[in-house]
Amino acid sequence: MSVAFAGNSTSGSSREAGPLRVMIVDDSVVIRGLISRWVGAEHDMEVAASLRTGLEAVNQLERINPDVAVLDIEMPELDGISALPQLLAKKRDLVIIMASTLTRRNAEISFKALSLGAADYIPKPESTREASAADTFHHDLIQKIRHLGARLRRKAAVASPPLAPASPPPAARAPFVARPAAPAPAANALLPGALSTRPFSTLAPKVLLIGSSTGGPQALMALVTELGPVIDRFPVLITQHMPPTFTTILAEHLARSSRRPAAEAG
């Protein structure tokens, strides 16, 4: 059984200020129920729909209009890896988090999904009866939804800045007073939440350290393709928050992307 919630969302500023709309797509009624309760308990997100198959998600996407989709891999009618490109074709900025049990096969599929446009993945526990596994799944999933959803909205805000207020009619304008020109703001100051940088050290580095978490695998794949000359000069060490099975697959994919040897640290 599939259940849809929250109706159609509004567009514009009210949509940007409202809670993140989450679409849950999983053929397990237990998993759908768990995620629905977790999302519904958060103040900054809401369940937009709870669906059983990828086909339902594709067919109902435009009506539901979610910000984030939690997409299972193994489902009847249309599995997650097949539904993924169809969902993104209908909504390019949809944040898709792949969910799968922790197996080598599903890890491979999850990394394939990243190459097809998924924002991240999350391993589902083998059994939700194990409290520690369910707690970890709960915490990680909510953090990924919140972080990736917020990043989507920051991008939308930069891409669509607010309109300037209309100029008053000529009769209401104040007299012109010449003032000295204000200094132009730095380029990075124009972006909300932009980080300031400090001068790079003149000392030659001996090793490059990279740390990543939510959204990291997708970013790492893009980054290492540009790091060839760096990797040839000194070692590159990467830390990525993920389970052991996935770190093995990550190392293999990084090796293929960089065309350099990469291995999971023992």
| Domain boundaries along the sequence of the chain | 3-159, 206-266
| pTM tops 0.75 | no
Q: Mean per-residue pLDDT for 181-203?
A: 58
| pLDDT at res. 234 | 83
Say yes or no to pLDDT of 66 above 80.
Answer: yes
Q: What class is the 3-159 domain? A: alpha beta
Q: Mean per-residue pLDDT for 75-82?
A: 93
Q: What is the DSSP string of 229-264?
A: HHHHHS-EEEEE---HHHHHHHHHHHHHHHTS----
Say yes or no to pLDDT of 100 above 80.
Answer: yes
Q: Mean per-residue pLDDT for 163-180?
A: 52
Q: Higher-confidence residue: 3 or 52? A: 52
Each residue of 150-161: pLDDT tens digit? 888 877 777 665
Q: CB within 8 A of 75, min separation 6: which ones?
A: 25, 26, 27, 52, 53, 54, 83
| pLDDT at res. 79 | 93
Each residue of 5-39: pLDDT tens digit? 555 544 443 355 689 999 999 999 999 999 999 99
Rounded Cα distance between 51 and 22, Å, is: 11
